[in-house]
Amino acid sequence: MIDAVSFENNTLGYLDQRLLPLKEEYVRTKSYQDAIGAIKTLAVRGAPLIGIVAGYTVMLGLNSFDGEKETFPDYFKKLIAEVEASRPTAVNLFFATARMKEVYDTHYASSSLEELFGKMLVAARKIHNDEIANCDNMARHGVELIRQDFAEILKTRKLNVLTHCNTGTLATGGSGTALGVIKHAWNEGLIEKVITAESRPLLQGLRLTAWELEQENIPFLSISDSSSAFLMQKGMIDFGIVGADRIAANGDTANKIGTFAHAVSAERHGLPYYIAAPVSTIDISISDGTQIPIEERDADELRTIFGTQVAMPSTPVLNYAFDVTPAEYIRGIVTDKKAVVGNYVSELQKLID
Ligand code: MRU
């Protein structure tokens, strides 16, 4: 079993995902600054896992507080701001800090710091445990939807599924969002093969999803991101399913850059394209995808390939880490509560209420 993240003895432990699959290095730290660095550099990544690590990072920050109770509110405010500045797109991070702030707001006045920190640890662990449980629920709802949408085809053969980036245990701590659905569908005998798009520039598909599938003995084929339309044209893909970093109230979905291009290709070929994400990834406060903050990352992620310079150092680069797939390209959004098909505006709101 992959141990993506842990929190024991006031120490955060995580598998450094930058090194996979060539090296499995488990890092342990008590420093909240190190934990923020791990989020920024994608040593830990994937929306639900970023949320889990954000909760534990707040705990590390609390544990290094050594002032009087009166000075704590200022310290806490700065700590939360630092954690929130680590990555902008995955709303799970802000969901986690909101949970921690809620505990602070409710209990600060009436508790000692020790009691308060104890309550906050319970909240951080709950974020982690909830995300694990969410994966199992998404897997169930996702497989139901696939069975329903492919009832005819499944009478004669299994399905080939395209996925992008990494949405498995490494991204969630549980079985995964999109990859969790895929794993469950494979166990149920619905899947022939998983096509994993490489996910340039940091190669989460080629490095991480392939590694997870190998561990689970699930057959897969890795492709360059630009191959998906051609494979669809050749009938080699039946549907796509990906995760999400933030879903707006109307269903527009931000996910790893390249997600939208696959969706356009799927639409062109009449293939269903699904999103799988926990309710913690829905940002009901924004009406559509134009309001989702999209992270731009360092130009050298493109100009170099894992440390090797491949472009002129002066090459101007635009390196968006995510794109937004408009809701009309999405056949269904599989959440931990249910799979939503059709009217996202009213259905997503109901999931939050
Ligand atoms: O930049 P990353 O690797 O954090 O991006 C991750 C993704 O885009 C995932 O698809 C998304 O977070 C869903 S993870 C279950």
User: What is the best residue among 172, 245, 330, 335 to mutate for testing ligand 1's pocket, by most ligand atoms within 8 Å of CB?
Assistant: 245
For atom 6 of ligand 1, which residue has the closest CA? Answer: 46
Cα–Cα distance between 353 and 344 in angstroms, integer?
14
Cα–Cα distance between 150 and 128 in angstroms, integer?
33
Q: Which of 149, 225, 238, 245 is catalytic?
A: 245
Q: Tell me which H or E stretch contains 36.
A: helix 32-40
Question: Which residue from 245, 253, 193, 254 is spatially nearest to 223, judged by alpha carbons?
Answer: 193
Domain end marker among 84, 115, 131: 131
What is the 79 CA–ligand 1 centroid distance (Å)? 24
Residues 72 and 155 in one domain: no
Report whether residue 272 contacts ligand 1, using a CB cutoff of 6 Å. no
What is the 257 CA–ligand 1 centroid distance (Å)? 10
Residues 118 and 176 in one domain: no
pLDDT of 111 strictly over 90: yes
pLDDT of 119 strictly over 90: yes
Residues 18 and 144 in one domain: no
Residues 205 and 121 in one domain: no
Confidence category of residue 353, pLDDT binned at 50, 70, 90: confident
At residue 1, the pLDDT reads 80
Mean pLDDT (the chain) is 97
Domain end marker among 66, 101, 131: 131
Q: What is the mean pLDDT of residues 100-123?
A: 98
What is the 231 CA–ligand 1 centroid distance (Å)? 23
Which tens digits make up the pLDDT trace of 295-319? 999 999 999 998 899 999 999 999 9
Residues 97 and 243 in one domain: no
Contact 296, 238 (CB under 8 A): no
Cα–Cα distance between 112 and 62 in angstroms, integer?
13
Domain end marker among 107, 131, 155: 131
Report whether residue 137 contacts ligand 1, using a CB cutoff of 6 Å. no
Residues 70 and 119 in one domain: yes
The CATH number of the domain holding residue 266 is 3.40.50.10470
Tell me, yes or no, if the pTM score tops 0.85.
Answer: yes
What is the 143 CA–ligand 1 centroid distance (Å)? 21
Residues 208 and 323 in one domain: yes
The amino acid at 306: F
Atom number of ligand 1 nearest to Cα 47: 12
What is the 204 CA–ligand 1 centroid distance (Å)? 8
Residues 14 and 114 in one domain: yes
Q: What is the mean pLDDT of residues 12-24?
A: 98
Question: What whole-number percentage of the chain has pLDDT above 90?
Answer: 98
| Count of domains forming the chain | 2
Asked about 245 being catalytic, the answer comes back as: yes
Residues 107 and 180 in one domain: no
Residues 166 and 253 in one domain: yes
Domain that holds residue 166: 137-352
Q: What is the mean pLDDT of residues 162-173?
A: 98
Residues 274 and 298 in one domain: yes
pLDDT of 342 strictly over 90: no
At residue 30, the pLDDT reads 98
The amino acid at 88: P
At residue 188, the pLDDT reads 98
Using the 8-state DSSP alphabet, how is residue 207 labeled? Answer: I
At residue 15, the pLDDT reads 98
Which tens digits make up the pLDDT trace of 224-282? 999 999 999 999 999 999 999 999 999 999 999 999 999 999 999 999 999 999 999 99
Report whether residue 256 contacts ligand 1, using a CB cutoff of 6 Å. yes
Report whether residue 262 contacts ligand 1, using a CB cutoff of 6 Å. no
The CATH number of the domain holding residue 84 is 1.20.120.420
Residues 307 and 195 in one domain: yes
